[in-house]
Amino acid sequence: GAVVSQHPSRVICKSGTSVKIECRSLDFQATTMFWYRQFPKQSLMLMATSNEGSKATYEQGVEKDKFLINHASLTLSTLTVTSAHPEDSSFYICSASTTNRGRTEAFFGQGTRLTVV
């Protein structure tokens, strides 16, 4: 199946700094990627839809100035958590959907555990 690679898998940063998370589709082109946030023992919450070559679409309640998304190519989307605070500590997951022969499927990165200290 298709592979989505997310990096880093774990990052610890100081409060006030920015952190960039990369999401790459390794063997297919993803015009659209999705960024999720997952709190402990909870479901995945969609943060934004990342569209190649255009601005991301953010879900209600998600601060676009806090979570900067760039989708510069068909294989790379980045999420930058700006001026991180301890409440931004969470598990972030990216995914990309692809449709092949009429079958739509989503593939996930390994996730990034962000800890802000």
Partner 1 sequence: AQTVTQSQPEMSVQEAETVTLSCTYDTSESDYYLFWYKQPPSRQMILVIRQEAYKQQNATENRFSVNFQKAAKSFSLKISDSQLGDAAMYFCAYIGNTDKLIFGTGTRLQVFP
CA dist., res. 115 & res. 108, Å (int):
21
Pick the closer one to partner 1 by CB: 12 or 46: 46
Q: How far is CA 92 from the centre of its chain?
A: 6
Pick the closer one to partner 1 by CB: 1 or 86: 1
Q: Are 35 and 70 in contact (CB under 8 A)?
A: no
Is residue 67 a contact point for partner 1 (CB under 8 A)? Answer: no
Pick the closer one to partner 1 by CB: 14 or 61: 61
Burial of 34 (0-12, 13-18, 19+ CB in 10 A): buried
CA dist., res. 15 & res. 103, Å (int):
43
Pick the closer one to partner 1 by CB: 19 or 92: 92
Is residue 29 a contact point for partner 1 (CB under 8 A)? Answer: no
CA dist., res. 71 & res. 90, Å (int):
22
Is residue 111 a contact point for partner 1 (CB under 8 A)? Answer: yes
Is residue 46 a contact point for partner 1 (CB under 8 A)? Answer: yes
Interface positions with partner 1 (CB under 8 A): 1, 32, 34, 38, 41-44, 46, 49, 91, 93, 95, 97, 103-106, 108, 110-111
